[in-house]
Amino acid sequence: MKFLSLALCAVIALGGEHALADTWAPSRGHAQMPIWPDKVPDAEPVPGPETAVTTSHLVAGRHYVAVMNVSRPTMTVYSPIGKNSGAAVVVFPGGGFEVLAIDLEGTEVCDWLTSKGISCILLKYRVPSEPYDWHCRCRPDNLVTSTPSLQDAQRAIGIVRLHAREWRIDSHKIGVLGFSAGGYLAAEISTNYRHRLYAPVDDADQESARPDFAVLVYPGHLATDNGSLNPNIAVSSETPPTFLVQAEDDNVDGVKQSLVYYAALKKDDVPVEMHLYAQGGHAFGLRPTALAITHWPVLVEQWLRTIGILPHAPR
């Protein structure tokens, strides 16, 4: 299967990038919080120190930032602007489980969500995450038992639920939104939430890690070479309602990723809505273009109203 990290390719193959800082930091007024108060479970060595790099690759005429070598995962909470709907979304940037496209598929997403009255929790999860490397023999037979990024996702959702009242969030309206590899992580947490993959740390780990809804944008890693669903994604009737966005000309992960997941969700009668566009490619984020796919956020907003997460717009 051809799984590429678009962000990593840009960092390695192009020569115009430069480091922004030793580590990534959110804009002024927002603070990162570590999701693990002490020891990070199943910690693995990374190639070097955490670094934020501006890539030479352009998306809609602008560069984007890739974060590399994340060994201490964090979450940053962005509060709604204006009226608070009570809904919250944990955002998983993509990057092939090698890097994180932290602005293109992270902070820019939070800008959109908070403008709609939705709390946004940006998860800087661990990368690189070796078990996901489909190009080597290091991948274990069962990713679910050794998934650092899934551990981080489970932990983050538990923290959000624990602090829901304090952060003015409805604990029954907490969803996930992921891009590319982050889309896979959104599917993974949607189907692997019952049992924590680490020893409980505190009260956050007593909270449910199940998202109330999920949005997957050009997801990867969901289909095997023979076109079946990745066996580590155990779809059931309890998988949360899901929204899929996909371009048919995606030449990185390919359209079959979304199609296979959509079929699995339909088979188990999971409420699912999919929007398949002829053009759009991969890793377009929310940056506006002349293509029809650029309007996918509006469709997500409408969908969130239909499933009761956002209030219906006044007529």
- The CATH number for 153's domain is 3.40.50.1820
**Model pTM above 0.85:** yes
Q: Work out the average pLDDT over 239-244.
A: 98
Whether 312 maps to a domain, the answer reads: no
Q: Work out the average pLDDT over 128-133.
A: 61
**Which conformational region is residue 69 in: left (phi greater than 0), alpha (psi within -120 to 50 degrees), or beta?**
left
Q: How far apart are CA 7 and CA 9, in angstroms?
A: 5
Q: Is the pLDDT of residue 7 over 50?
A: no
Q: Which pLDDT value is given to residue 79?
A: 96
CB-hemisphere CA count at 13 Å for 232? 22
Q: Using H for helix, E for strand and C for coil, what is the string for the chain?
A: CCCCCHHHHHHHHCCCCEEEECCCCCCCCCCEEECCCCCCCCCCCCCCCCEEEECCCCECCECCEEEECECCCEEEEECCCCCCCCCEEEEECCCCCCEEECHHHHHHHHHHHHHCCCEEEEEECCECCHHHCCCCCCCCCCHHHCCHHHHHHHHHHHHHHHCCCCCCCCCCCEEEEEECHHHHHHHHHHHCCCCCCCCCCCHHHHCCCCCCCEEEECCCCCECCCCCECCCCCCCCCCCCEEEEEECCCCCCCCHHHHHHHHHHHHCCCCEEEEEECCCCCCCCCCCCCCHHHHHHHHHHHHHHHCCCCCCCCC
Instruction: Give the chain's mean pLDDT.
Output: 88
Least confident of 55-59, 98-102, 242-246: 55-59
Angle at 249 between CA 247 and CA 251, to 5 degrees: 110
Q: Are 85 and 310 in contact (CB under 8 A)?
A: yes
Q: Are 78 and 113 in contact (CB under 8 A)?
A: yes
Q: Work out the average pLDDT over 125-129.
A: 90
Angle at 42 between CA 36 and CA 47, to 5 degrees: 95
Whether 198 maps to a domain, the answer reads: yes
Domain boundaries, position 11: 6-306
157-202 confidence digits (pLDDT tens): 999 999 999 999 999 999 999 999 999 999 999 999 999 999 999 9
Q: Is the pLDDT of residue 274 over 90?
A: yes
Q: Is the pLDDT of residue 138 over 80?
A: no
The amino acid sitting at 227 is G
Whether 314 maps to a domain, the answer reads: no
Q: Which pLDDT value is given to residue 45?
A: 86
Q: Is the pLDDT of residue 149 over 50?
A: yes
58-112 confidence digits (pLDDT tens): 787 789 899 999 999 999 999 999 899 999 999 999 999 999 999 999 999 999 9
Domains of the chain: total: 1
Q: Work out the average pLDDT over 148-162.
A: 97
Whether 224 maps to a domain, the answer reads: yes
Least confident of 57-61, 151-155, 236-240: 57-61
Q: Work out the average pLDDT over 40-64.
A: 88
Q: Are 174 and 161 in contact (CB under 8 A)?
A: yes
Indicate the pLDDT class of residue 225, thresholds 50, 70 and 90. Answer: confident
Whether 272 maps to a domain, the answer reads: yes
Q: In this structure, what token pair is assigned to residue 70?
A: 């994340």
Whether 162 maps to a domain, the answer reads: yes
Whether 315 maps to a domain, the answer reads: no
Q: Are 104 and 285 in contact (CB under 8 A)?
A: yes
- Max mean pLDDT among 19-33, 118-132, 173-187 falls in 173-187
Q: Is the pLDDT of residue 147 over 90?
A: no
Whether 11 maps to a domain, the answer reads: yes
Q: Which pLDDT value is given to residue 22?
A: 65
Q: Work out the average pLDDT over 16-31.
A: 68
Indicate the pLDDT class of residue 26, thresholds 50, 70 and 90. Answer: confident
Radius of gyration of the chain (CA): 18
